[in-house]
Amino acid sequence: MCGVSISTSARADSDATTEQDVPPLYVVGDVHGQAGPLVAALTEAALVDDDGHWAAGRTRLWFLGDLTDRGPDGVGVVELVRRLGVEAREVGGMVDTLLGNHEILLLGSRKFGDELIDMPAGARSFLTTWQLNGGRDSDLAALTDEQADWLRSRPALALADNHLLAHSDTLAYLEYGDTVGSVNRALRAELDGDDATRWWDCFRQLTRRHDFRGEGGEERVGRLLDILGGSRLVHGHSPIPEQLAVDPAEVTEPLSYAGGRALSVDGGLFAGGPCLVTRLPYPG
Ligand SMILES: [Mn+2]
């Protein structure tokens, strides 16, 4: 259930300037409440020790959103990521997460409950939609104000070592801005507000997917990267086993596609796939 994809440095002789000074960079895709497999995978990758504490010094670890829902202990995953963030910061490292569509869904359920939101396709509520998409009542009951505020204030996008990190494989981020900073600020401003319809629109936009697949996919991801920066998009949200039409248990590594300009790292953990802990840059 746990897979570790650690690349050796393939660019040692092409980028020798600061290679020695740049601490390792890892990403983890959609955990969806699977705290146990996550800890096992982080342990196997030597990012945490046998007691589950940060053991990787200055290493940077980005989660790509969707920490909760579908699996048994979403709030446990949130707490783990927050604690590792504190432990890593104490030794010069970094652990953080991006905002995924399920964070907005869970937080929207907490904030708006079953309040009906008028949409062209009919009225919706966050709570019902969340329940239909794997929401766990135990997570909603356990989530504290502090955890909710922390989740709500996570960025939607990050740039790290020339990688554009995002939850979803979509151009929808461009609806909010044309730089990483402006997209993050715009989404943050929406979620600081109390308008259920605007929250719903954020959820809907971040739920879009598959924009970089098939014909024209390479051109579309190139456009995203040209605007927002980075030479490769690294994303979660759309499970690799679904993209490859294989059994989740057969997935062992991230999926490079769109001419190598997109890298999917969501192993489909919730459906029985591996918890991929991927070191960047990933070869291929
Ligand atoms: Mn998602």
Give the Å distance between the CA of 264 and the centre of ligand 1: 12
Give the Å distance between the CA of 68 and the centre of ligand 1: 10
Give the Å distance between the CA of 131 and the centre of ligand 1: 15
Per-chain mean pLDDT for the chain: 94
Q: Report the domain count for the chain.
A: 1
Distance CA 212, CA 218 (A): 6
* Pairing of β 262-264 and β 232-235: parallel
Give the Å distance between the CA of 209 and the centre of ligand 1: 9
Give the Å distance between the CA of 66 and the centre of ligand 1: 6
Distance CA 71, CA 262 (A): 27
- Going by pLDDT thresholds of 50, 70 and 90, the confidence category of residue 15 is very low
In this predicted structure, the answer to whether residue 14 has a pLDDT above a threshold of 60 is no
In this predicted structure, the answer to whether residue 19 has a pLDDT above a threshold of 70 is no
- Going by pLDDT thresholds of 50, 70 and 90, the confidence category of residue 21 is confident
pLDDT for the residue numbered 114: 97
| Percent of the residues in the chain that have a pLDDT greater than 90, as a whole number | 91
Give the Å distance between the CA of 30 and the centre of ligand 1: 7
**Contact of 157 with 184, CB cutoff 8 Å:** yes
Q: Which residue has the higher pLDDT, 16 or 50?
A: 50
Which residues are found with C-beta within 5 Å of the ion, ligand 1? 66, 100-101, 237
Give the residue carrying structure tokens 């051109």. Answer: 219
For 190, the domain range is 2-11+19-280
Give the Å distance between the CA of 102 and the centre of ligand 1: 6
Average pLDDT over residues 74-81: 98
| Percent of the residues in the chain that have a pLDDT greater than 70, as a whole number | 93
Quote the distance between the C-alpha of residue 172 and its chain's center. Answer: 15
In this predicted structure, the answer to whether residue 13 has a pLDDT above a threshold of 60 is no
How deeply is 17 buried, as exposed, middle or buried, from its count of CB atoms within 10 A (0-12, 13-18, 19+)?
exposed
- Going by pLDDT thresholds of 50, 70 and 90, the confidence category of residue 6 is low
Which whole-number Å values give the CA distances from 233 to 6, 100, 110, 250, in the listed order?
18, 15, 31, 24
In this predicted structure, the answer to whether residue 1 has a pLDDT above a threshold of 70 is no
Beta-bridge partner residues of 233: 164, 262
Give the Å distance between the CA of 270 and the centre of ligand 1: 12
Distance CA 136, CA 72 (A): 7
pLDDT for the residue numbered 119: 86
Local structure of residue 214 (DSSP, 8 states): S
CATH number at residue 207: 3.60.21.10
- Going by pLDDT thresholds of 50, 70 and 90, the confidence category of residue 120 is confident
Beta-bridge partner residues of 234: 165, 263
- Chain segment 125-181, per-residue pLDDT in tens: 999 999 999 999 999 999 999 999 999 999 999 999 999 999 999 999 999 999 999
- Chain segment 183-194, per-residue pLDDT in tens: 999 999 999 999
